[in-house]
Amino acid sequence: MVCVERGSLLGTGKEAEVYENGQLVLKLYKSSKTSAFREAAILAILEDLGVDAPRVQDVGDIEGRWGLTMTRAEGGTFGEAIALQPLQASVYLNALVAMHRKIHEHSGVRLPSIKSRLAHNIESAAQLEEIQRQHLLSGLRLLPDGDRLCHGDFHPWNVLGSLERAVIVDWLDACSGDPLADVCRSYVLMHHYDHDLAAAYLDAYAGTNGGSRAAILAWLPYVAAARLSEGVPDEVDSLIRMVESDTPI
């Protein structure tokens, strides 16, 4: 067991809590040690690639829970900045798009497949009827595979810092695949909090020749169905509508 000073709580999420640790931060996971080692390995890969992400320093059993220490991302989130400065929302959205596209320039071949992860989560989604599940799995197999680095959880609240210097955090779900699947995942995540912001992000990404709106939304039923398995009861009705609708909402 590693003895690590745990400072003030900086944030908490579905997977982990983040605490001050001197000049570093300590991320303690709520689940098994697999998550700690997986994110540590991902962060090491990102460091090799030069991606703007925290740098892992150590991983271990900390007070009976598995976690890692990493460099600290200073400043508030882009989500907070958009809420405080709504007139600057388009500036922040364009910066987010640029960061997202920069991520997608890298190879993700050392990471698991985004399609495999979607398929696994669709198979685990108890809210789906079996015939619906099989239809989704068949459709998913027809979509592009791709080999680009995908964040897997990219949204304004996972980007900290300023427009000039930002760091992207929470890489536990990073994978390899079609960038448009990753953008669709961002749309689904943002849609729950702000429909208009999600739609604006979709349009901003498509407007950079990053893929058409229709091509991004081709992933929507599969991304939404996979999200159902993540224990988000307040999103279920919206996600089901996304899975069942023939037109984006």
- Using the predicted structure, report yes or no on whether residue 160 has a pLDDT greater than 80: yes
Q: What is the mean pLDDT of residues 111-130?
A: 97
- Our CA dihedral for 206, 209, 215, 216, rounded to 10 degrees, sits at -40
CATH 3.90.1200.10 domain locations along the chain: 78-244
Q: Distance between CA atoms of 79 and 157, rounded to whole angstroms?
A: 5
In which band, very low, low, confident or very high, does the pLDDT at 119 lie, cut at 50, 70 and 90?
very high
55, 87, 246 from 24: Cα distances, Å:
10, 33, 47
Long-range pairs of 130-138 with CB within 8 A, sequence gap ≥ 24: 132/243, 133/225, 136/221, 136/222, 136/225, 136/243
| CATH fourth-level superfamily of 9-71 | Phosphorylase Kinase; domain 1 (3.30.200.20)
* Topology, domain 78-244: Aminoglycoside 3'-phosphotransferase; Chain: A, domain 2 (3.90.1200)
- Is residue 101 within 8 Å of 208, Cβ to Cβ? yes
- Is residue 138 within 8 Å of 225, Cβ to Cβ? no
- Using the predicted structure, report yes or no on whether residue 246 has a pLDDT greater than 70: no
Residue 186, classed as helix, strand or coil, is helix
CATH 3.30.200.20 domain locations along the chain: 9-71
Buried b (16+ CB within 10 A) or exposed e, 200-232: ebbebbbeeebbebeebbbbbbbbbbbbbbeee
* Residue carrying structure tokens 């407007």: 207
Per-residue confidence (pLDDT) for residue 1, from 0 to 100: 45
Residue 59, classed as helix, strand or coil, is strand
5 or 128, greater pLDDT: 128
